[in-house]
Structure 1
Amino acid sequence: MNLIPVDVKIHPTVLFSIIDSYERRNEKMTRVVGSLLGTNIQGNIEVTDSFVVPHRDGDEVALDVEFAKNSMNAFKKINPSVSIVGWFSTGNDIPNTSCLIHEYYARETISPIHLTVDTNLKNNQPDVKAYYSTELGIPERKQGTIFVPIPIDIISYDSEKLTIDLLQDGKFSNKRIIKPGMDFVNLKLTLDDIYLMLNSITEYVDKVLAGKIAMDSNIGRHLVKIIDSIPLLDPQTFDTLMTNQMNDLLMVQYLSNLVQVQLTLNEKLSLI
């Protein structure tokens, strides 16, 4: 049973990726198509990523299905939680050949959406629209397929919003300061509090050792309790833990870059 999408949320990085793919397309191509990745929970769709799928357009459309499957498998290795939620194409119109492409994605996922991005700026802006398909006629006599518009929202993580604010300003100056998101602000406030408390404890201990103030046994017991709660790690063990975490981070970054290069290379080879 197909579930009609009721809400579509799109991250700006997806739109940037689509526009970038259109700018780097072969000059003979009239549009760019590809897969949309994200989550679909009871018709509430969030699009977080995308990749281009080579195709031939015209009176007959031919989609590189093998490339699409291999690319999806590569994305799954990096982020197993994402899945195909639909497909995109550049342009403001929906040609008849779009029904054939939509049929493929209907076999890959339940109720796929179709996203169009007007890269020609007919309305002086990259108009973005989303659709779902429905069949006309009765089950015994289907007369065709139509695309029904769906409302969309552009949402972003804090890191994405910082980049968008910079792009909207249009000034890439070394003097420009981007304020961190709330998570980083809270982290800084917490570290500042810890720094003040450590300074206060250090001053107290120095004054007690110098005989300037009397020793308080209650404060001493609390300090000992705090120190005992800190795990004792020798420098070799601490260095190993930090190195392992850094290696994991570098490996994830390397694999992400490798997949991006592979996708770009396959795209270029398919257009030769």
Structure 2
Amino acid sequence: MPGVPDKVVLHPLVLLSVVDHYNRVAKDTKKRVIGVLLGETYKGQVDVTNSFAVPFEEDDKDPSIWFLDHSYLEIMFRMFKKVNAREHVIGWYSTGPRLREADLSMHALMANYCSNPVLVICEVEPKEVGLPFTAYTAIDEVREDGTEKSRQIFITIPTEVGQTEAEEIGVEHLLRNVKDATISTLASDVSAKLQALKGLKGRLGDVQEYLGAVLEGRLPVNNDIMTYLQDIFNLLPNMNVEALSTSLAVKGNDMMAAIYLASLIRSTLALHKLIDNKEARMWAEKERADKAKAAADKAAKAEKDKAADGKEGAAADKDQDKQADGAAKPTSNGNA
């Protein structure tokens, strides 16, 4: 289809901005937030590199009544344009978590700022494993019999998460700060495998639902999807071969044993560091106590020496007074 993007690549900064916007404005409510997506389009790929929030209100009872601040949008875009001239308005985002009746009219409004806008619905509280966002674009649907005039509908676009080298370094730095090195990775590995299996189960359920709808005639046969499914089945290993199943089991057990051993070694090293830290702290406290005791003894000795010097001075003054009194008395002799 002409004008329809082949893929939408969302950068981590955009996801963080959308979640922050939702937490500030609509957390613990049924409202949604809306903003503008910035980026560039090259060879059918839409790179969403930045975004900003836009004031938005809608009537809960009548979805056709809504308000979006155009002036704020234009002022913010002019300021972002001064920072990065390569970023253009490429669409808008919503926290849905699904499409609504007023989305087509808002999409038409966004078409005033870019030729073919995309809509990205982000799930700030995802309940399923997978990417927490879905991209859409609007196309004109025309009935073949010509009974109705053309109308716009949303179609989905393939999505993925992409990042530049600078963003990758920043995300890795944040994850490094979050990760606790004292915690074993065995539990995290098992949790990751469990989440992956849940995601696989969900995808297989979607495939089963689609094939069931095709068999019942509710959906037409899509040859591209059937080709992909056939490729998947061709790539699956034949688990009926005993040698293959045995080798996979041995390989899995070896990996689990290596992970378990590494976790034990890490726990032992952590305990060793804890004991070394405690011993170093005890020696430091003992050294401080010895220094404090030496300083107190030195102060007491100085005070004692000072008191002794004061007594000797007082005795010397007393002797001088006696000598002075003896010299002042008149001597008695025969001439008195």
Q: TM-score, normalised by structure 2?
A: 0.47
Aligned pairs for 1:151-230 within 5 A: 151-168=158-175, 171=178
Deviation at 1:70, TM superposition (A): 0.7
Q: CA RMSD, aligned part only? A: 2.7
Cα shift readout 1:44-99 (whole Å, capped 9, x = no counterpart): 21111000111111321111111101110111111111110000001320101111
Distance 1:141 1:10, change over 3 A: same
Superposition deviation, residue 117 in structure 1: 0.4
78, 84, 89: which one pairs with 1:73? 78
**1:11-26 mapped onto 2 (5 Å cutoff):** 11-26=11-26
Query: 1:108 aligns to what SS in structure 2?
Result: coil
Cα pair 1:90 1:117 within 8 Å, conserved: yes
Aligned counterpart, 2:101: 96
In the other structure, the counterpart of 1:147 is 154
Determine the C-alpha separation between the residues in 1 that align with 2:127 and 2:149: 34
Amino acid at match of 1:106: A
Equivalent residue, structure 1, for 2:133 = 128
Letter in 2 for 1:56: E
User: Between the two proteins, what is the percent identity of the paired residues?
Assistant: 27
Please report how far the alpha carbon of residue 167 of structure 1 lies from its aligned counterpart in structure 2 after TM superposition.
Answer: 4.2
What amino acid is aligned across from residue 53 of structure 1 in structure 2?
Answer: V
Counting only pairs closer than 5 Å after superposition, residues 1-80 of structure 1 correspond to structure 2 as 3-26=3-26, 30-58=31-59, 59=63, 60-80=65-85
Residues 108-153 of structure 1 deviation map (CA, whole Å, 9 limit, x = unaligned): 1111100010012222666111011112226995353211110112
Decide which structure has greater helix share.
2
Quote how far apart the aligned CAs of 1:169 are: 5.3
- Evaluate the alpha carbon distance shift between residue 4 and residue 34 of structure 1 in structure 2; reply closer, same or farther with a 3 A threshold: same
The amino acid across from 1:113 in the alignment is V
1:242-262 CA-to-partner distances (Å, cap 9, x unmatched) read xxxxxxxxxxxxxxxxxxxxx
Deviations along 1:153-208, whole A, 9 cap, x unmatched? 21112222133234445636799xxxxxxxxxxxxxxxxxxxxxxxxxxxxxxxxx
Higher relative contact order (CA 8 A, sep 6+): 1
In the alignment, is the contact (CA less than 8 A) between 1:61 and 1:100 conserved in 2? no
Give the 3 Å change call, closer, same or farther, for CA 135–26 of structure 1 in structure 2.
Answer: same
Moved more, 18-27 or 44-53: 18-27
Contact kept, 8 Å, 1:4 with 1:132, in 2: the verdict is: yes
2-structure distance, mates of 1:43, 1:111: 11
- CA distance in 1: counterparts of 2:75 and 2:68, whole angstroms: 13
Q: Which runs of 4+ in 1 moved over 3 A?
A: 26-29, 138-144, 166-170, 172-175
Segments of 5+ residues of structure 2 without an aligned counterpart are 183-336
CA distance in 2, matches of 1:70, 1:174: 46
CA contact (8 A) 2:26 2:32 kept: no
Q: What is the identity, as a one-letter code, of the residue corresponding to 1:44?
A: Q
Please tell me whether the aligned partners of residues 34 and 52 of structure 1 are also in contact (alpha carbons under 8 angstroms): yes
Change in Cα spacing, 1:25 to 1:132, as seen in structure 2 (3 Å) is same
Distance between the aligned counterparts of 1:167 and 1:124, measured in 2? 22
Task: Check whether the contact 1:55–1:64 (CA below 8 A) recurs between aligned residues.
Answer: yes
Residues 1:8 and 1:85: Cα distance change in structure 2 (over 3 Å): same
For each residue in 1:18-58, what CA deviation from the matched residue of structure 2 results, as whole angstroms up to 9, or x when unmatched? 11111111466611101000112343211110001111113
Range with bigger deviation, 20-29 or 108-117: 20-29
Within 2, Cα distance between the matches of 1:160 and 1:153?
Answer: 15
Aligned residue type for 1:68: L
Q: Quick one: distance in 1 between partners of 2:16 and 2:53? A: 13
Q: 1 or 2, which has the higher strand percentage?
A: 1
**Separation in structure 2 between the aligned mates of residue 10 and residue 117 of structure 1, nearest angstrom:** 11
Larger Rg: 2
